[in-house]
Structure 1
Amino acid sequence: MTAEICMMNRLAVVLAADSATTVSRWVDGKREERYFKGANKVFQISDIQPVGLMIYDSADILNVPWELIIKEFRHHIRDRSFNTVEEYARELVTYLSDNPKFFPIEIQNEKLVEASKGVISEWIAEAVEGLKPEQFHDAVVKMLADKVGAIADLQVPECIDQNHGDKVAEELSTEVEKALLALAGLAGIDDLDGSGDLARAAIMEVICDPGFYLDTTGLVFAGFGDHEIFPGMVEYESQGLIGGKHIFQKKGAYNLDQHQPAFLKAFAQTEMVDTFNAGFSFDAFSSVLAAMTASLTGFAEEVAQKSGGNFTAIDDVDSLIQGAQKKISTSIIDKARKEHSLPLRRVLGVLPANEMAELAETLITLQSLKEKVTKPSETVGGPVDVAIITKHEGLVWVKRKHFFDPALNSRFQLRQAAQHS
């Protein structure tokens, strides 16, 4: 996991991220995780234009590090500019489609087939769970009919068309069908009519829900487009590649204007920013609501008994309690909004850029401290990278870790100077 913050007012954007990364592998059937604290998550996506990018969740796509891709993209656009931050985002997510230099089709197919085999395994396991061996065949046949029949209701992602999804499923169905027949054989099912249809159904299941079955990466773009006076932020989720097409989904966007003075959002681990922003942690708030329901029920029973009333005569007691809970929670949220969120945004709207950077770094540090003292593993930590983006100064680093000492690498500095001259 990670902790990242995007903070904006009308003058500047601040991007801040920790450096922790998690590497997982399977050893003798057990999942092992190792934690490192040197990952780069904040990037400049143009050498000239005032736009930056943060990544979270998976650090690579189809085994290619995002850091490498982003730097290649920066070289790709060179001195080009775009009217809005949204256009920078669209340029990157479409840049990855039909790009065999990064993503050979064999690797794309390998990932999709692997995920589809996992779907088949889950379907068969669910179909035969709790049954006797002699019942396996009929259960799997019924499951096959249900899953194949459900294909018509599946919707492919908006960034590809239905024909493309059908074509990929048809091309890879034979390989997935082999795995299906092998699993069926282990379950004692020798003949299974329609296995090819079920294989295609499994592939379409993955294609239509790649965010669930494939590795995903959050992409947070922020800064100023050519035609934007105030900064904006747009968030995408990258969901891998299928048949040469990059699968992505827009998760949200926010642009400041004359009416909206500031913006603050955390990504991945968000507890500290939620507490700072709303005045309470949403985890704690959920616990309070759960306890409130139980307490209101007991309180209602006690009032009825002491007043001589018949509590069981109230046939809609659950709806009454839910209504009371809703009123209380609405009141808490409204009070928090007035006393925390709105004043915070007013202050953020006038904060100088350097103080915004200090605040963002502090919130990341607090999140790291919370992880350190409350959880057995530190999934947030390491140096905090902080960048400020303004309309005319562009992206400047306030804090940035290096794997080398720039003072010892004069040739590197000369190369950089020659590149930007």
Structure 2
Amino acid sequence: MTAEIAIMSRTAVVLAADSATTITSWKDGQQEKRYFKGANKLFELSRVGPVGLMIYGSADLHGVPWELPIKAYRESLGQDQYDKLETYPQRFFEFVEKEEKFFSEEAKSTTLFDLVAATLYRLQMRIAHHAGVEQLEDLANKSDEEIDGALQRSEIDIDALPLPLLLRDADIANAYASTAPKLAPMAGSSIFLFMQSSSREFLVTRFLEALAKLAVKEFFLYTDKTGVVVAGYGKEEYFPVLETFDCYGFLGDRLILNRLSPTIMDANCPAVIQPFATTHMIDTFRMGISPDVFNTVNTSTTQAFGELSDKIIAELGTTATLDAAKRAQIIDEVGTAHSDRWHQHVRNQHIFPLSTIVHLLPLPEMAGLAKSLIELESLKERVTRPSESVSGPIDVAVISKHDGFVWIDRKHYFRPELNHRFFNRA
């Protein structure tokens, strides 16, 4: 986990990120987590343009640390600048997708094969379920006709699964075409269902088609996600812009991305405070109330209105009648009106005044606010949980139209005063 924040005014955007990273490993069947405090999550994306990038979530893309393609793209960009900020992340992801030094065709093919192969157990368990057994070993006692029927019912289930919005039918066809020639020859020796009986080989083609379809349709359930935040200015933009993406990695040759709604400052928007990843304490600061308390109050209020209506009807006696649907409608209307009133109070007393204050803050104060909010999130994590998933030095940068990307706080793994040549090279 991590904690990051972007604070935007009409003058500049401040980015801040902690340095904690979590490494998960397995030992004797038990999951072990280790925490380190030196990860780089905030980067300058252009040497000349006022653009910064933050990452959160997974720190690597199929084993390649994000820091490598980010810095390689920065070097390849050189002196080029774009009119719109949105072009920077577009070109960056194109670079990641096409740069074979990081992700060769062979590496992408291996990644796809691993994805499909990891689905073998899940598909075989579906077949076992439809065959009426709980363990894969029990399939050995089933006839070929029973296995055929169980596979057919599994195919119907898989066909009924929706294809996620970011994916295409072509992804399924590509997954099958890429993996079936490798899996088919080894089915009798490596796929448990066919290892049990060679007479089931006539089902291999259908099995592999269902396997590819299931792997693609469940792609988002078993992939690591990285959040990518790009903020700053294009040459033709005078107010800062914030672009956010969810990156799910490669599916064949395609890098699967979900672009979220951008945040664009203008003359009508005074300021924005946007947290990422771990956001509990930052949300509490913005709203004046903890998000979990906020949700609990809403749920409890609805429940209380229902209990109140029960008591009123009970007091009125048997002569009182109220249609259940009408009663639910009244409770919903009253609950919505009640919520709107106190939500408006939260906005008027906390969110709107904070936006006005942030708009007026000088840049050093904006940077200090961003750092303090990350420190607050780190403190909350440290005193309430045994983990250290938000901790370490905090990197802070201010990006403005004419001053560009300026570091306010930046950690180094070396002593700067002993490494003048590093800064001369930079």
Normalised by the length of structure 1, the TM-score is 0.89
Tell whether the 8 Å contact from 2:187 to 2:194 is kept in structure 1 after alignment.
no
How many Å apart are 1:148 and its aligned residue? 5.8
| 1:86 match | 86
- Taking the aligned partners of 1:41 and 1:287, their CA distance within structure 2 comes to 33
Aligned-pair identity (%): 34
**2:150 aligned residue (140, 150, 168):** 140
- Taking the aligned partners of 2:114 and 2:153, their CA distance within structure 1 comes to 21
1:64 aligned partner, one-letter code: V
* Aligned: 1:299 with 2:322: no
Normalised by the length of structure 2, the TM-score is 0.88
| 2:179 match | 172
How many Å apart are 1:120 and its aligned residue? 3.4
How many Å apart are 1:114 and its aligned residue? 2.4
| 1:419 match | none
Q: 1:144 to 1:76 in 2, by over 3 A?
A: same
* Aligned: 1:325 with 2:340: no
Q: List, as ranges, runs of 4+ consecutive aligned residues in structure 1 with deviation greater than 6 Å.
A: 186-189
> 1:254-333 counterparts in 2 under 5 A?
254-308=263-317, 314-316=323-325, 317-333=327-343
2:423 aligned partner, one-letter code: Q
Q: 1:407 to 1:194 in 2, by over 3 A?
A: same
Structure 1 residue ranges without an equivalent (≥5): 417-421
Q: 1:270 to 1:155 in 2, by over 3 A?
A: closer
| 2:249 match | 240
Stretch of structure 1 that moved more, 128-137 or 102-111: 128-137
CA RMSD of aligned residues (A): 2.7
| 2:224 match | 215
How many Å apart are 1:245 and its aligned residue? 2.9
How many Å apart are 1:94 and its aligned residue? 0.8
SS at match of 2:381: helix
How many Å apart are 1:374 and its aligned residue? 1.9
How many Å apart are 1:87 and its aligned residue? 0.5
**2:365 aligned residue (338, 355, 361):** 355
- Taking the aligned partners of 2:343 and 2:394, their CA distance within structure 1 comes to 31
SS at match of 1:191: helix
SS at match of 1:247: strand
- Taking the aligned partners of 2:302 and 2:312, their CA distance within structure 1 comes to 15
SS at match of 1:264: strand
Stretch of structure 1 that moved more, 42-51 or 372-381: 372-381
* Aligned: 1:380 with 2:400: no
How many Å apart are 1:310 and its aligned residue? 6.2
Q: 1:193 to 1:274 in 2, by over 3 A?
A: farther
- Taking the aligned partners of 1:329 and 1:186, their CA distance within structure 2 comes to 60
Aligned pair count reads 413
- Taking the aligned partners of 1:167 and 1:231, their CA distance within structure 2 comes to 40
SS at match of 1:349: helix
- Taking the aligned partners of 2:307 and 2:203, their CA distance within structure 1 comes to 56
SS at match of 1:252: coil
| 1:71 match | 71
Tell whether the 8 Å contact from 2:245 to 2:257 is kept in structure 1 after alignment.
yes
* Aligned: 1:120 with 2:90: no
| 1:199 match | 208
- Taking the aligned partners of 1:404 and 1:358, their CA distance within structure 2 comes to 24
SS at match of 2:4: strand
